[in-house]
Structures are given as structure tokens and as C-alpha cells.
Amino acid sequence: MYFFSIHFLIDYYATFVSMKKSERAEIILKILDQTYPKTPIPLDHKDIYTLLIAVLLSAQCTDERVNQVTPKLFKLASTPKKMSKLSQDQIYKIIKPCGLGPKKSQAIKDLSLILVNEHNSIVPDNFVDLEKLPGVGHKTASVVMSQGFGVPAFAVDTHIHRLAQRWGLTDGKNVKKTEADLKKLFDKSTWNKLHLQIIFWGREFCQAKACYGLECKICTSCYPKRIKPFAHKKP
């Protein structure tokens, strides 16, 4: 039986073979596992409710900024009941640095009221009820399901949508298609960790205005002969 290193496989495919999508996926997974063996959740939280609020705030905002804002918010109210008693203006004044303040503050208040009145102050553990909450779309629900409840899900953000295209894993038609393509390529047991690994890689090595499919280890491993910058489709 022969055992080959990841570096040998990359060199072999780069020289002799045009890689299939599944083969690129295998190399990507190995590189990501080597680079990020542990994947801590980047948003600070103490339970599933505070995770839900943090994820909602992270829309069009950096995790770093959210982590600067949430301690003050959660000190004032860290449960659905306490949050529902705050005025929208109170919430808005705290979360304003996260952007989309009026919309997010209203959503936080409204979803907290719904959790109190319809769910006994407990965050639902299913997609149907989560996505009915104000301000909670499929991506937010996917993050809560995967990182909060441990249910396999593959939330696709801008980083994942961009990298999946650069790595030839999807055509980038839309976020829904990207999610479906990734779920077909990777085993369900890897989804929750892989979601974070791809985000970490996108922030560190393959940013939107850098690499362009030409520089990072994964891009050069998947497409060693690529010459022109890759233009990805935005979600």
C-alpha cells in the first residue's frame, strides 16, 4: 500500500492531471484541517440566545465590531424577557456601530417578544421556526443551528461564496446554489467545522481584494496554471 503526502498529490495533479471538482475538494479539506485544526466560534456569546443576537448583528459587520458592542448590550439584557422590555431606542443606541441600526434594533426587540410569547423564552431548534423570527434569514438560522445546536448546516457568507468560486466548487450563480454544491461535495460530518475554516482562510489568506485566485496555497494548488485574476460573482 502506498501513502502519499498532500504536497505530493498537489504536485502530481498540477503537473499531469486536470483535477476534478471532488479532487479539489479533498485537497482543500486537507489544507484547511492542517491550518485550522480547531475552530472556535468567533462571535462572543454565553448561550444560544446571545449567539442568535450576535449573529444577527454580524450582518454586514465584522465579528470584531460585534464583539465590541455585545458586552454592553448583554450587560443590560441577555435574555429574551429582559431584551423585550427595552425600548428600540435603547437597543439602537448600543448597537449603532454595527450598522443597519434601526432595522437590527427593531428585529432584536420583536424576535425577543416572540420568543417570550410563543416559545417560552427558548430559541427554537429548527429552521422553520428560526426563519420565522424577525431579522433571521437562512444564513443566520444555519449558524445558530450548527454552532448553537450542533446540527449539520452550511451557512454561506460572502467569504464562502467567493472562495467556493475561486476554488472551482460552484459556479456562483447564487448563495443558495453555492450552499447546495458544497453540501454535495463535502461529507455532512465536516460541514460545521468547514464553514468556519473557509471563513478563517478567506480572512487570512484569500481576501476579496487580494489573492484573486492566484496567490494563496489553496488557489495555487487547485489551479496552478491560472494566469488571470479570477472575478467572482457577488451574492
pLDDT of residue 235: 80
The total of structural domains in the chain comes to: 2
| Domain CATH for 116 | 1.10.340.30
Using CA atoms, how far apart are residues 22 and 46, in angstroms rounded to an integer? 37
Residues 65 and 123 in one domain: yes
Does residue 232 lie within any of the structural domains?
no
pLDDT per residue as tens digits for the range 47-58: 999 999 999 999
- What does the DSSP 8-state code read for residue 96? G
pLDDT of residue 17: 47
Point out the residues of the chain with pLDDT beneath 50: 1-2, 4, 8, 12, 14-17
Domain span at residue 142 reads 48-148
Does residue 125 lie within any of the structural domains?
yes
Closest CA to 4 of 30, 38, 33, 29: 30
pLDDT of residue 49: 98
Residues 134 and 160 in one domain: no
DSSP H helices, 77-172, are 80-84, 88-95, 101-118, 127-130, 138-143, 158-166
Does residue 230 lie within any of the structural domains?
no
Residues 59 and 76 in one domain: yes
Look at the pTM and tell me if it is higher than 0.95.
no
C-alpha cell at 121: 423564552
Does residue 110 lie within any of the structural domains?
yes
